[in-house]
């Protein structure tokens, strides 16, 4: 059985009706301008484009979420910073441990409806222990 904790960002409410629009192994990353500008004052600048691989923030796999046939810019993806899993540090994506996102990726074909269930307005103050962990147990098996 598989279970785990994911890290989700602030935009969970905007995912209603989303579908997996495309998928990628070792995805490249083109961060939105707002992410790049927000990161610059805090430390090293973020490149406008980064090839897929070990140092890429999207990790081993990515599922690109679409709504109404258009890219939402939100993703379900792995991470190159596994220590951040469980922390509310995202700009709206759901980050997973690479081994978990690889497992999920193999089970989610393009066109799959995505339903995100989380702690609602308690984000950041409560871990996914209350509801989200149950969703992961449903996806990955276990009790």
Q: Catalytic positions, please? A: 77, 93
Q: Write out the chain in H/E/C secondary structure.
A: CCCCCCEECCCHHHHCCCEEEEEEECCCECCCHHHHHHHHHHCCCCCCCECCCCCCCCCCEEEEEEECCEEEEEEEECCCCHHHCCCCCCCCCEECCHHHHHHHHCCCCCCCECCCCCCHHHCCCCCCCCCHHHHHHHHHCCC
């Amino acid at each position: 059985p598989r279970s785990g904790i994911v890290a989700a960002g602030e935009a969970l409410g905007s995912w209603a009706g989303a579908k997996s629009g495309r998928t990628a192994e070792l995805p490249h990353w083109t961060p939105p301008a707002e992410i790049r500008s927000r990161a610059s004052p805090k430390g090293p600048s973020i490149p406008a484009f980064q090839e897929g691989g070990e140092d890429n923030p999207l990790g081993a796999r990515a599922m690109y979420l679409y709504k109404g046939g258009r890219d939402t810019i939100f993703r379900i993806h792995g991470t190159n910073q596994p220590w951040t899993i469980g922390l509310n540090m995202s700009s709206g994506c759901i980050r997973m441990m690479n081994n978990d996102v690889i497992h999920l990726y193999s089970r989610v074909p393009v066109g799959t409806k995505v339903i995100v269930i989380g702690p609602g307005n308690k984000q950041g103050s409560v871990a996914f222990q209350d509801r989200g962990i149950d969703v992961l147990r449903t996806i990955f098996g276990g009790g």
